[in-house]
A and B are shown apart, each in its own frame.
Chain A
Amino acid sequence: MHVWQQIKTNLVQHRHEDGLQIMIAALINAIMYAIGTVANNRLILSDASKRLGSLDIVPSLLMIVMVLLALFSISFLLYLNSLLIARRDQEIGLYRLLGLSGAKLGLNVFLESLIVGVIGFVAGVLLGLILSPLLGMVLIRLMALHTPIGFMVSPSALLDVLTLMGVVYLLIGAVNAIYVQNPLRQFIRQQDVPVAPKPQTLWRFWLGIGGFTLLVGSLLTMLRLLPISGSLMRLLPWIPSRIVLPILLFVVVVALLLGLFLVFADFLPGLVAWFQRHHEMQNRNASGISRHLIIKRLHGNAHSLWLTTLLCAVTITMLGSSVMLFQYKQELVLREIPTTVVASGIGVDNVTDVLKKARVKPTHAITISSKLLYAEIRLRDQVGQVRKQPGVYNVVAIRDYRRAARLQRSLTPVRLRQREAQLMLPTRTGFQPVGARRNPNRAIMLPGSDTSLRLTRTTNLFPTGSNNYFDRGLLVSDQTFDMLEGTPDRLYMAKLPKTKAARRALTQLQHLDNSQNLQEYVNIGANERAGDDLKVTNRVSAKMNFWRNPIGLQASQQNFVSTLYGFLLFLILLLSGVFVVATGSILLLKQVIAVRQEKRHFQILKHLGMDPQQIRHTIYRQAAVIFAVPLVFGIIMALCVISVMNSYLDNPPSRYLSLMIAIYAGIDWLFYQATVHVMIRMVDGPVSRWVND
């Protein structure tokens, strides 16, 4: 009875801290429960695996995310707890001093933690019941599925969450119980020990400058990662070129982390202090005080700023790159298969046969002739190396290109003179641009015709879509095309009407496509390299070979991409949501703790006649700096990391990147508002009275 009384008192006394902890735990619980139910929902799983063709990827990825989230939430909740329990030192010390034994106090805090955990669990499950259908709907929408869902109750998900929370809160309770057993003198230290701030010495100044240089250097390196690794390969020829890039990446990441930390610990406070000294004449008024308080805040929160900046950078990187990848893949499908159905080689006959039998007349259909030939080029790649690149080319004449452009709007007008060619590459970004400084007047050698053509441009847009091509394409003038010798090939694309018959025909084609023996190969042996005609077969017979899928169906490819990348995007959105909340609550909590320590300062300033309005302004600015700094640094870092991805993908669309950043900033702003609200309420009390009577 006595113990419960005590716990009740504690719970009432610490309701704000406990409330925060319960809120966060409930949120994590809800998300975990929602993921668990989705992972156990048979309807969604079977629909998704039909699309993807593999049964395990969805549940196993969901499992991985759940484990990641669980690890993150365990460490986050422990971190949160360590902040919160340290705030109770004085109270613990008092209890111990008054004779409550460590064991008994330990039992109290242990039970308290368990109660908090139970409340968090119940609240989380209730929230999860609401959240899980919403989450399911988002998932279905992103994956472009048509699965009906309703309320989802899953005992196994419930059990998962219960296990996790049980482990976490037993752990937290145990940690707290051990914490209060510390020697008494650790709690009875003077609370407001006056400590002189670290002076701005020259050494710290240079450390800060060094940190800033590291940070900027590593970000710039990241922007030009491939060229720099190329120069490194040339400078250090004894290092195997395969490990240069990983080593460089590792060094850059370490430099980034170290530089960022030094920037927060030394550079930023030093910069503000220097600014203050420089403008001392203007600073001899109240804004000087608020600047002083901001510097102090930057100093005191270097660690959490570092951590939150990293979290912010990771979150925005994940969000931005997954959203870009999602869109990129969807646009890629349109580049591969620009119309309802495309076909090449043997596939052309198959498709026309099926369409004729089903009595489907395409609204538009184009067949263009092409010549298949083997060729070699030398191009400087992004790393800076010039290598001989063998390849199989589908040569297309410019008159066919223009015909195709009527149906395929993305093809831009091209002009070519004789002996000129435009190179069509599926991965254009792998090379330095043709015709630029690093790749002037590159030529393509055609052994079969004993000629070479000058390359004018590279593009990633193929007439009739890249799905029809074995490897690369070459666009040449009409005369050149007629002159060249090569194996004749057909490229076909068609737009089908949206009728039932067409749909049946597509299903038939899908079955045809799924039967594996439709693939076409070109084998390159010594003869072909010397200039012999190429042969299209259905077998692999040489070490160097190229293949294509003679039938391409837009809808099924789109479904596959949406389902897979939509699912990945969904997972990233989930993780990001948790990270955003974690970042915001770390900052909020740290600010509340800091204000609690600074409360006396504000009271003194108020007593001495600092304008209340000015005090409020100071608090606004303090919080604004603390929230803005990780956001700005995080966004810059994320953009640099995303640019690495850009150098691998060919012009990924970035429309939604700014949207994602805006949403992130919006959530951050909400946390900022909440923090300021709490801080103002804490400081805005009446001026402390004299109470000596």
Chain B
Amino acid sequence: MAILEVSNLSKIFGQRHDRVRALNDLSFQVAAGEFIGIMGPSGAGKSTLLNILATIETPSTGKVKIAGYDLEALNESQQAAFRRDHLGFVFQDFNLLDDMTVAQNILLPLTLQRQVQPDRAERLRTVSQHLNLGPLLKAFPGELSMGQRQRVAAARAVITQPSLLLADEPTGSLDSLAATDFLRYLQQLNQQEKTTILMVTHDPFTASFASRIIFIKDGAFFAEVTRGKSREQFFDRIIDMEATVSGGGHARVATD
């Protein structure tokens, strides 16, 4: 079942003379439980896509459906409710609230809902176990390492059990060790909790943790790479495809 359907999506910025076409007739689908990577050179429209998926930007033409909801039909406060209930966010710079404890930060999306969830404590325990944050719950974000902070952000993103987790360069602020560590956790969430993840990155290593990678170029679908048996092979194919994208080659669909 497709949890995310993007069909003929276009986004045009600016007026008459300086129009920029950020997205150009982009279509793809994501099935529930997938771990999708979005890659592409700078200016390919990755961020625009992410903003549209996050209901922050509206498309010029085309349709986006997430978990059966047509994003176009939502008004401002419905958009907020939709973000709260169906989306999880992991940002490059964590976006944690510095004056709240780790536990309060993780619980934030639940706190923002109108009703009190009876299983708050239960959910907090589960996600902090998954992301190994148990001993840090009482600490403040300022006292954590970068990797730990990003794990807190991930815990915050999955505590509502969202339909779709949007990750924007999640390893951009981490060193390579912490990045590997964090991606393993992300992979684990995807495999054990069946969280659907859409991750935007420009780093082939980060991308190699996904199960499928969609390359976009100039706002349009360029290619797709699906993971085979080993991550190392997948990584090599990503590098190849990156070279093709930036080398101006023709699109080819590589599948095993």
Contact = CB atoms under 8 A, between A and B. Distances in A.
Interface of A: 192-197, 281-282, 284-286, 288-289, 292, 296, 601, 604-613, 686-687, 689-693
A692 B142 contact: no
Interface in B213-230: none
Top 9 A-B pairs, shortest CB-CB distance: A609-B84, A194-B142, A194-B98, A609-B83, A196-B140, A690-B47, A693-B47, A284-B116, A604-B95
Contact of B85 (A286, A606, A609, A692): A609
Contacts of A686: 56
Interface stretch (B28-36, B38-46, B178-186): B38-46
A692 B76 contact: no
A193 B172 CA distance: 20
A282 B114 CA distance: 11
Interface in B29-69: 42-48, 50-51, 54, 56-57
A195 B77 contact: no
B246 interface: no
B22 to A, nearest CB: 8
B99 A296 contact: yes
A611 B100 contact: no
A292 B100 contact: yes
B169 A693 contact: no
B142 A195 contact: yes
Contact of B45 (A613, A691, A693): A693
Contact of B51 (A285, A605, A613, A689): A689
Contacts of A285: 111-116
Contact of B112 (A286, A690, A693): A286
Contact of B108 (A195, A608, A690): A608
A160 to B, nearest CB: 48
Interface of B: 42-48, 50-51, 54, 56-57, 76-77, 80-85, 87, 89, 92, 95-100, 107-117, 120, 140-143, 156, 168-169, 172, 200
Nearest to B51: A689
Contact of A194 (B48, B76, B140): B140
A523 B140 CA distance: 82
A607 B91 CA distance: 11
23 contacts: A194-B142, A195-B99, A196-B99, A284-B110, A286-B112, A288-B111, A292-B100, A604-B96, A608-B83, A608-B84, A608-B89, A608-B108, A609-B83, A609-B84, A609-B109, A610-B80, A689-B51, A689-B56, A690-B50, A690-B168, A691-B47, A692-B200, A693-B42
A692 to B, nearest CB: 6
A300 to B, nearest CB: 10
Contact of B47 (A192, A193, A692): A692
A612 B75 CA distance: 11
A284 B120 contact: yes
Contacts of A693: 42-48
B43 A289 contact: no
Contacts of A286: 111-114
